Structure 1
């Protein structure tokens, strides 16, 4: 269970001098990651630190500024104001950060995922092949919802991955890819889809004293058939039973690009009086999640906790505010992997689960060319956390 940086033995020679390039969409998260890296490497007693192979190992900052300005016509460019020759570079981009804007013929445009992806490619182009290695951290995988072909449709996510590796990207690390099988598009390159299960469970246990975490008092719920594997994993790790909803859709109509949901049907054991953990990869509009909560409450559920990796809230917060006021939902746990509005962070039901330390550990380990397998599986860490919770060590 080696998660703490102080417990990890990283004495292999780094791939190259570490460079961290968070694009503007990911600046805040990038700064937090940098702070961890600086703190660890300053306090590290590594005996080879003065060796020439470790040149640039200990610095006051690993951040490298990348600029992606726009012309008045909306065209853009990427530039880097520092040498990156021979560096082991880690680029970070949040394709969901719609808060950023640019001018287009005197109009103000909010940046879309397409804009962010183009800026990422511009920065890679500015690197110009001079880096030792390029790894892209893209928490929300670009176009991951368009991962398969149902008719004569584009395969946007697969194309994007192929574009990145063609430009020299060696590894792509994402979180909760909508369908991990999209990595088949780049079988000869590194692709990792990481789960934030530990951080979400930690958020629940740190903010909710008195939980009875057993199958008699708690149930894990998958809101649809697509998230079954996620819910099965969490249920097994926590020692709980699980249930799921499947959506009955009207395939004769298309509304907002999808077939409307007619009803949510439940499969699972009795939920009367039990606490619920609904786990999903994202909340987009949130309509399905609200419907699932209503269905659970109508069946006698006690408290409802929501786990989601990406809290997008594309239709705003009003429906969730009402759900909280009506007692449908107790807490909602999500990560800072995508842009969070100040309004969301101020909500009493919302708990922000910080992922910066975890990302810093992944980057630090990869820079030393050491396996990250133990970091990708949070089972042991969750078990240790549960033991501490049951012993009353988290709420002293």
Structure 2
């Protein structure tokens, strides 16, 4: 059976695709801030899949998932699986500044109750089944880009995504270099590129504020790119940040629905259903 959490909107699509039963649990945030969880159906002897994504309230969802999993365990669920399309605190290669805590390394210890956890383009320190959305992004842009195109990532840590998208499109990829200044500010740089007449697809695992993409767009514009498209797996940016990317010169911004966003145009539901079930 499949259970959607507070941010479990993908559970409906997944359940319909794979023919699994969908059950709702009581989830409520009480007026004094505590989370209330209650199972309203029998789970004894069942394999249960909890679907929840960690945006826009990641800290609350971490705790909610733990509460739900423990309740399922208490009432006899046979095995408990987590389908978490986006997991917060998971950016690979993020170098800690002195005094910072690696939160996912700590929080992952709480998740031993799950038999297995599935996620999309996850890159943190946690044992998960990692499913790539690279082919889906490549398929989306296959009919939009001409033969003279290139895939570029503004972040070296997104190389696997850039490589996968480029392979699907049958083209090359390049990587820029991103240096983190503090919690929210970065500097993006790149070697000199000649993109005269090229259509450029900028890809990254996730977009937080859009600062990296804005800087990357400026770089490829100076290199005479013909058209510029932007894509990511997890779009956490708000409307203002997305508008900044458009104003900087993006022709289109495309994300998956691991997080519901104004630019979620690619669904990972079928991909998850195929890989999990």
Same fold (TM > 0.5): yes
CA contact (8 A) 1:173 1:192 kept: yes
SS for the counterpart of 2:166 is helix
Change (3 A) 1:32 1:124: same
Instruction: Tell me by how many angstroms 1:243 deviates.
Output: 2.0
- Tell me the residue number matched to 2:45: 86
Matched, 1:68 2:34: no
> Hey, what's the Cα distance between the residues in 1 that align with 2:25 and 2:241?
38
Q: CA deviation at 1:154?
A: 2.6
Aligned-pair CA distance for 1:78 = 1.3
Secondary structure at the aligned position of 1:24 is classed as: coil
Instruction: State the Cα RMSD in Å.
Output: 2.4
3-state SS in 2 of match to 1:308: strand
CA contact (8 A) 2:142 2:169 kept: no
1:42-74 CA deviation, whole Å, 9 max, x = no partner? xxxxxxxxxxxxxxxxxxx60121122233211
Deviation of 1:268 (Å): 6.2
**Superposed displacement of residue 320, structure 1:** 3.5
Which among 127, 137, 150 is matched to residue 83 of structure 2?
137
Deviation at 1:233, TM superposition (A): 3.4
In the alignment, which residue of structure 2 is the partner of 1:361? 274
TM-score by length of 1: 0.64
Matched, 1:170 2:94: no
The alpha-carbon deviation at position 246 of structure 1 amounts to 1.5
2:7 counterpart of 1:25: yes
Q: 1:114 aligns with which of 59, 62, 71?
A: 59
Q: Given the superposition, is the C-alpha separation of residues 294 and 127 from structure 1 closer, same or farther in structure 2, using an over 3 Å criterion?
A: same
Secondary structure of the residue aligned to 2:163 is helix
Are the aligned partners of 1:203 and 1:333 in contact in 2 as well (CA < 8 Å)? no
Following superposition of structure 1 onto structure 2, how do residues 95-244 of structure 1 map, counting pairs within 5 Å?
95-96=54-55, 98=56, 112-129=57-74, 130-145=76-91, 149-165=96-112, 168-179=113-124, 182-183=125-126, 186=127, 191-205=128-142, 208=144, 211-213=145-147, 217-244=148-175
Unaligned stretches of 5+ residues in structure 2 = none
Equivalences, count: 275
Counterpart contact for 2:200–2:228, Cα < 8 Å: yes
Structure whose CA Rg is larger: 1
Normalised TM-score (structure 2): 0.89
Equivalence for 1:275: 199
Provide closer, same or farther for how the CA distance between residues 351 and 93 of structure 1 changes in structure 2, counting only shifts above 3 A: closer
